[in-house]
């Protein structure tokens, strides 16, 4: 089975670097499967899980936005933050979710705070999903 090098990179660290058979990401226009030999392109990502297939194993990552870039020699996911399931602190994500929900439920709020709370909720829910919580 052919592979390509996948790198998941954040401003802090190289989160992941492995030969993969395929990945599934959620781009701005929806779900996208990437196989070896895909034509080069770049697209923004939603805050959503990224699934990496190697052999019959699938590994999920919580990827908080960013971009996927398919190059001739490798695929790079560049995100503000990304964690694999075992790196996620579920309690922290649950707390972030509750905080964001409380902010969204508060009556008076300016638009920027509302948007920030929505984005924070998306990140928390993404992490909860990937870590196997509800």
Cα dihedral 29, 69, 12, 52 sign: positive
State the minimum distance, in angstroms, from the CB of residue 40 to ligand ATP.
Answer: 28
State the minimum distance, in angstroms, from the CB of residue 45 to ligand ATP.
Answer: 14
Rounded (5°) CA angle 48-54-58: 40
Nearer to ligand ATP, 70 or 125 (CB): 125
State the minimum distance, in angstroms, from the CB of residue 76 to ligand ATP.
Answer: 18
Nearer to ligand ATP, 22 or 64 (CB): 64
Residues 6 or more apart in contact with residue 118 via CB below 8 angstroms: 100, 104
Rounded (5°) CA angle 41-68-5: 90
Nearer to ligand ATP, 8 or 70 (CB): 8
Spatial strand order of the sheet with 82-84 comes to 30-34, 22-27, 47-54, 57-64, 82-84
State the minimum distance, in angstroms, from the CB of residue 105 to ligand ATP.
Answer: 17
Binding positions for ligand ATP, rule: CB under 6 A: 12, 64, 81, 83, 87-89, 92-93, 96, 120, 123, 127
Nearer to ligand ATP, 50 or 70 (CB): 50
Q: Contact, 66 vs 44, CB < 8 A?
A: yes
């Amino acid at each position: 089975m052919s592979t390509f090098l996948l790198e998941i990179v954040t401003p802090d660290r190289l989160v992941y670097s492995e030969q993969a058979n395929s990945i599934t990401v959620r781009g701005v226009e929806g779900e996208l499967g990437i196989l070896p030999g895909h034509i080069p392109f770049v697209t923004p990502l939603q805050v959503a899980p990224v699934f990496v297939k190697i052999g019959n194993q699938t590994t999920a990552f919580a990827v908080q936005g960013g971009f996927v870039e398919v190059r001739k020699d490798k695929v790079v996911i560049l995100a503000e933050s990304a964690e694999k399931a075992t790196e996620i602190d579920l309690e922290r994500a649950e707390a972030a979710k509750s905080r964001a929900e409380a902010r969204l439920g508060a009556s008076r709020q300016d638009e920027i705070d509302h948007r920030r709370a929505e984005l924070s909720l998306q990140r928390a829910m993404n992490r909860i999903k990937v870590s196997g919580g509800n």
